[in-house]
Structure 1
Amino acid sequence: MASLTHLDLRWSNFSGHIPHQLGHLSNLRYLDLADIAMSYCKIGPNFPMWLQTQRSVTNLHLSNAEISDKAPGWFWNWTSNIVTIDLSDNQIEGDVSEIVLNSSFINLRSNHFKGQMPQLSTNVKELHMANNSIFGRISSFMCQKKNRKNQLMVLDVSNNLLTGALPHCWKYWQSLTHLDLGSNDISGRIPYSIGSLVALQSLHLQNNRISGDIPSSLKKCSNLSLIDIGENPLSVAIPPWIGEMTSLTILRLSSNGFKGHIPLQICQLSSLIVLDLANNSLWGHIPNCLKNISAMTIPTPKLEAQNPYSILYRGTYVENLKLVPKGVELEYEENLGFVKIIDLSSNNLSGSIPSEISILSELCFLNLSRNQLIGKIPEKIGIMKKLESIDLSQNHLSGGIPLSLSSLTFLSHLNLSYNNLSGKIPLGTQLQTFDALSYIGNPQLCGNPLPRNCTIMEESQNRTSIGKTEEDSNNSNFYIGMGVGFAVGFWAVCGVLFFNRTWRHAYFRFFDDMKDWVYVTTVLNENWLLEKLRSCHL
């Protein structure tokens, strides 16, 4: 088949190794062997040397091919005319410090590449190098003169070993729409010049050592839909101007040191589907105006429910985000558009849970645990029919569990433990399916699945109440009698002395005589003791 130009064997049932005769197809322009045998094409462990004979290939997809070899030196020159390269999810080794990349779409993620960042030609539109061992200062790459004329739109170098401060040369990268520098060792402040990225749609800086505040210049990035600055030592207040970024759909600022109140301006972000402020030092009340986030009240159209951050060139960019919706960290990619979550856990928030929160009928995950919240669980929480997870544990909530909670048919995770809730757990199709750990730490709570029987508990409380009533009655009679007796005795004596002059004089004369007798007796005993001591001394 010497004239073959396109070979696409994706999603086939072939297995085994690729025959070396494939290298004889010198006219081949497109080769895709991904996902063969419903898993992956087994090309490795050696790097496919037969690629070197191919002269017309324009698209190379060898992801998950079990290659655990070093990329040969000729390979990078060979790719200079390749439009898309996908070598992701292998164990390919090699130093990329001195290479120049020319393909439009390059995916080298999840391999063993090392060295400093490579140089880019103006042809490169997407560069994915996440999950490798790329090191060096990020500014050395971003501010390199050879990269200043780049046309890069997607840069993902997350989960590497990059160091240093964020650069000030963002004006050379104004075509960037998606920037992911998460999970590196980047330090310093976010520079004001980052506002030059006017086309930016998503910004990932999570899990670094970035400090200081969020610069107000970020407002210039009017298309910004996602901000993830979690797991950094930021220790300032959340800026109120963030409410002006009306395109935001995802705001993740968890595990920092943010202080102060939750700014009311966040309620202006009507498109927000993810609000994650967990594990900070925020205090004050939960804003009532969260009800204004209309994206959490309107059903998501099916066409928009997929990942809203996909860009299709020769390949597809898929946004990703790590969240903790049900007590376990999960990574969302294609299904990110389905997630609607409010996570304010592990702060110092006080006051009651605003009843207005029940208006957010499309909310899927609600986590307010480990705060100082008081009052009752909102009675209308059952209106939030899409809730899959509720965590209100480790607060000071009181009162009963609302009956409406039992009507949440999608609920698969519930934690109300360690509060001051009381009464019977409502019967329903959902609440009895959770184990006792979901309710533990509420001494006055009873009913299935807790071992405390509500009937026995009520009888015990009644007996205690009756016993207390009788005891209180006896004590009350005793103190009343004692008070009356004291009053009668007091006025019986004082009244006679007050009205009878002869008795009054006799009474006070008696006390005068007693005083004189005590004085004389004390003086005589004292003199006797002194005489005794003198005789002993002699």
Structure 2
Amino acid sequence: MSLGNLSSLANLDFSHNLFNGTLPQNFGQLKNLVRLDFWNNSISGPLSVSFGNLSTLTYLDLSYNEFSGTLPQNFGQLSKLNTLYIESNMLEGVVTEVHFSNLTSLIKLYAFGNHLTLEVSNNWNPPFQLESLSFQSWNLGPNFPAWLCSQRHLQNLDISNTGISGVVPPSFWNLSSQFVSLNLSQNLLYGEIVNSLMNWSSDSVIDLSSNHFNGLLPFISSKVIVLDLSKNSFSKSISHFLCFKINEPKQIEVLNLERNLLSGKIPNCWMKWNSLVALNLGNNNFIGSIPTSIGSLTLLKSLHLYNNKFSGKLPFSLKNCEKLVTIDVAENEFVGRLPSWIGHRFSSLMILNFRSNNFHGHIPDQLCALTSLQILDLSYNNLSGSIPRCVKNFSAMATKNNSNHIMWLISLTFYYGETLPLESALLVIKGKIFEYSTILQLVKSIDFSKNSLSGEIPKEVTYLQGLEFLNLSYNLFSGSIPENIGSMGSLESIDFSLNQLSGHIPSSMSSLTFLNHLNLSNNNLTGKIPLSTQLQSLNPSGFIGNKLCGLPLTENCTNGVKPNNENIGSKTTGGLEVDWFYVSMALGIVIGFWSVCGPLLLNKQWRIIYFQFLDQMGYKLKGVISLIFKTRWFIFKESWLCLERTNTERYCKGIWQLNWD
């Protein structure tokens, strides 16, 4: 590229194009350039050292490209530069104080998404006063960067996943009143946060998740709108936190306290938290029932209470939260019947997870009104009865296309552009627990396992052609597998194990090209496993405990060989076993009988000759038997007389043997 007569150019904007290749090395010729923007292209190669000659430059955006190599040290000579975007590239290496030596005008620095390491002295005093800084995924550790405490105008800060540890200096918390956005997540920070979240500015976003902060929950300013303290070690009750300034309305919209050590009962103090849109109290040690004041959260869309020790029934006041998209109360001790009003009140519900509780009774037909439902987990309860045939009304599961209903709040966008997934769900898939977050809106699953459900699997289940995971294991289902299950072309996992299913495996199952997990074990299924690339490549353990043959099992169906070498010579036809050995034996008896008796019945002359022959044979046989009898009697008599006369047993026995021979 020849820059030629562009030396007087002040503004050059190549953003959001399809440029690739490398940049020319002579950018330094543009002596009057004030603004340079290459955002969102595919430009690669190292950054030219000629950038350091752009002394009039105030705005430089090289973000979202493929620049590699190190950051040139002469960037530190751009004394008029106030905005620098270099995020989402492939830069690597060490950045030192020299790189910032003369950046006295710098107020915005976005550099996340690279592999850079900052090495500065402990007493470094930066020449700039930043307003926004993002060093996410840099290496800043091991100690907390003390130089941040000198930034008196800092509003937006992201130093997440930077390897820093230890206690946050109190002087840093003193800056809290100026923060609008703070992200310290995914580090090794610890210690208590005492009254440090009180004096924050309006609409503040705070993310301190995935650290080791401990002690009581800190009091929170009513001006904070997002607070994420998840995956820490906060402990004890939350009563002081929820009921603080009970008469003061809270602006908070997102509250995430999951995966801590919090305990005790939830106080009935939700009345002033009615701006909440997302509430996550999952994976703690809470006990007792859910307070009725939770019905005050009329804007609530996401409710996560999973993996605690909550008990009692779900409060009827929850029906006031009509905007709910997610209800996750799995792994608790809730009791009672499944609330039928859920189907009437929550028309936007996409996730309903009641796994591992003590719910009993039938699955109410009213749940079928949840047409937006994509994840339904009722496993590990005490449910009975049959699967409602109206499940075909789950229209979001019935379509193979991705849902048009975009999952709300799939991620949180900070002021500096970084996004973090907030909505997530723990699902048991193929016997293992997986956490879905960013692709959660694409998942479609039904899990009714570990109950006492009975009856046949209704054919209406096969209408759900967008379903990916179906688990009906550990129940009392009987009858056959629906013949048209092959129409559920999106299925990746099927588990029908430990039921009382009978009949054959439908041949249509061979058309499930996405299927990678199938468990039909421990039923009463019979016959040959249908042939397909998918079925024969699956684990044989998914077919054991039945009377099946064919690959992937070792039992061969050819030449009449059945599983376990039982009933050799038999075949299965229409569910009935036919043993050809006994069939051929019976046929031979019939043919032999009519071969002999047939001519005698049809021809009178043959009958006369045949019976005359039998009479002659009878007379001859009678004469022979009479002669043999008389002869043997004579020998016996002579031997007995000999014994009386001589009284010599050995001598008379010899005479008897001689006469007999």
Aligned to 2:104: 2
1:266 to 352, 363, 367: 367
Aligned to 2:56: none
C-alpha distance in 1 between matches for 2:120 and 2:516:
45
Aligned to 1:139: 239
Gaps of 5+ in 2: 1-102, 572-577, 588-661
Cα gap change, 1:147 to 1:321, in 2 (>3 Å)? farther
Deviation of the 1:321 alpha carbon: 0.7
Query: How many pairs were matched up?
Result: 467
Indicate if the aligned counterparts of 1:306 and 1:338 stay in contact, CA closer than 8 A. Answer: no
Aligned to 2:549: 446
- Note the alpha carbon deviations across 1:319-373, whole angstroms, 9 max, x for none: 0110012221000010000100000011111111001111001011100011111
Indicate if the aligned counterparts of 2:466 and 2:489 stay in contact, CA closer than 8 A. Answer: yes
Letter in 2 for 1:5: I
Indicate if the aligned counterparts of 1:63 and 1:90 stay in contact, CA closer than 8 A. Answer: yes
Cα gap change, 1:233 to 1:334, in 2 (>3 Å)? same
1:412 to 516, 528, 539: 516
Aligned to 2:128: 26
Indicate if the aligned counterparts of 2:176 and 2:196 stay in contact, CA closer than 8 A. Answer: no
C-alpha distance in 1 between matches for 2:586 and 2:173:
91
- Note the alpha carbon deviations across 1:478-528, whole angstroms, 9 max, x for none: xxxxxxxxxxxxxxxxxxxxxxxxxxxxxxxxxxxxxxxxxxxxxxxxxxx
The SS at the match of 2:466 is coil
Letter in 2 for 1:135: S
1:120 aligns with 2:220: yes
1:398-409 alignment to 2 at 5 Å? Answer: 398-409=502-513
Aligned to 1:368: 472
2:276 to 176, 181, 184: 176
Cα gap change, 1:388 to 1:99, in 2 (>3 Å)? same
C-alpha distance in 1 between matches for 2:491 and 2:403:
18
1:95 aligns with 2:203: no
Aligned to 1:476: none
| TM-score, normalised relative to structure 1 | 0.83
Deviation of the 1:284 alpha carbon: 0.8
The SS at the match of 2:484 is helix
Indicate if the aligned counterparts of 2:497 and 2:519 stay in contact, CA closer than 8 A. Answer: yes
C-alpha distance in 1 between matches for 2:434 and 2:380:
17
Letter in 2 for 1:187: I
Cα gap change, 1:23 to 1:407, in 2 (>3 Å)? farther
Letter in 2 for 1:252: N
C-alpha distance in 2 between matches for 1:15 and 1:430:
48
C-alpha distance in 1 between matches for 2:469 and 2:514:
11
Indicate if the aligned counterparts of 2:410 and 2:438 stay in contact, CA closer than 8 A. Answer: no
1:199 aligns with 2:299: yes
C-alpha distance in 2 between matches for 1:302 and 1:289:
20
Aligned to 2:397: 296
> RCO greater where, 1 or 2, for CA within 8 Å and sep 6 or more?
1
Aligned to 2:266: 166
Q: What value does the CA root-mean-square deviation take over the aligned residues?
A: 2.2
C-alpha distance in 2 between matches for 1:87 and 1:135:
20
- Note the alpha carbon deviations across 1:456-476, whole angstroms, 9 max, x for none: 425715398356679999xxx
Letter in 2 for 1:28: L
Deviation of the 1:182 alpha carbon: 0.6
Letter in 2 for 1:448: L
Aligned to 1:483: none
Indicate if the aligned counterparts of 2:250 and 2:274 stay in contact, CA closer than 8 A. Answer: no
Aligned to 1:465: 579
Cα gap change, 1:197 to 1:300, in 2 (>3 Å)? farther
Letter in 2 for 1:460: I
Cα gap change, 1:297 to 1:18, in 2 (>3 Å)? farther
1:338 to 434, 438, 442: 442
C-alpha distance in 2 between matches for 1:275 and 1:197:
23
1:253 aligns with 2:354: yes
The SS at the match of 1:334 is coil
Deviation of the 1:79 alpha carbon: 2.4
1:186 aligns with 2:293: no
Indicate if the aligned counterparts of 1:364 and 1:387 stay in contact, CA closer than 8 A. Answer: yes
Gaps of 5+ in 1: 35-39, 474-538
1:358 aligns with 2:424: no
Cα gap change, 1:313 to 1:379, in 2 (>3 Å)? same
- Note the alpha carbon deviations across 1:366-423, whole angstroms, 9 max, x for none: 0001111111111111111111111111111111111111111111111111111111
C-alpha distance in 1 between matches for 2:543 and 2:138:
49
- Note the alpha carbon deviations across 1:26-67, whole angstroms, 9 max, x for none: 321111111xxxxx2111110110101112211110111111
C-alpha distance in 2 between matches for 1:323 and 1:433:
25
Letter in 2 for 1:389: S
Cα gap change, 1:316 to 1:349, in 2 (>3 Å)? same
C-alpha distance in 1 between matches for 2:330 and 2:189:
30
Higher strand share: 2
1:222-237 alignment to 2 at 5 Å? Answer: 222-237=322-337
Letter in 1 for 2:579: S
Deviation of the 1:297 alpha carbon: 1.3
The SS at the match of 2:313 is coil
1:280 aligns with 2:381: yes
Aligned to 2:154: 57
Cα gap change, 1:125 to 1:18, in 2 (>3 Å)? farther
Letter in 2 for 1:88: S
Cα gap change, 1:304 to 1:25, in 2 (>3 Å)? farther
Aligned to 1:42: 139
> What is the percentage of aligned positions where both structures have the same residue?
45
Which stretch has the larger CA shift, 192-201 or 5-14?
5-14
Which stretch has the larger CA shift, 68-77 or 444-453?
68-77
Indicate if the aligned counterparts of 1:202 and 1:226 stay in contact, CA closer than 8 A. Answer: yes
C-alpha distance in 2 between matches for 1:185 and 1:168:
17
From the CA coordinates, give the structure whose radius of gyration is larger.
Answer: 2
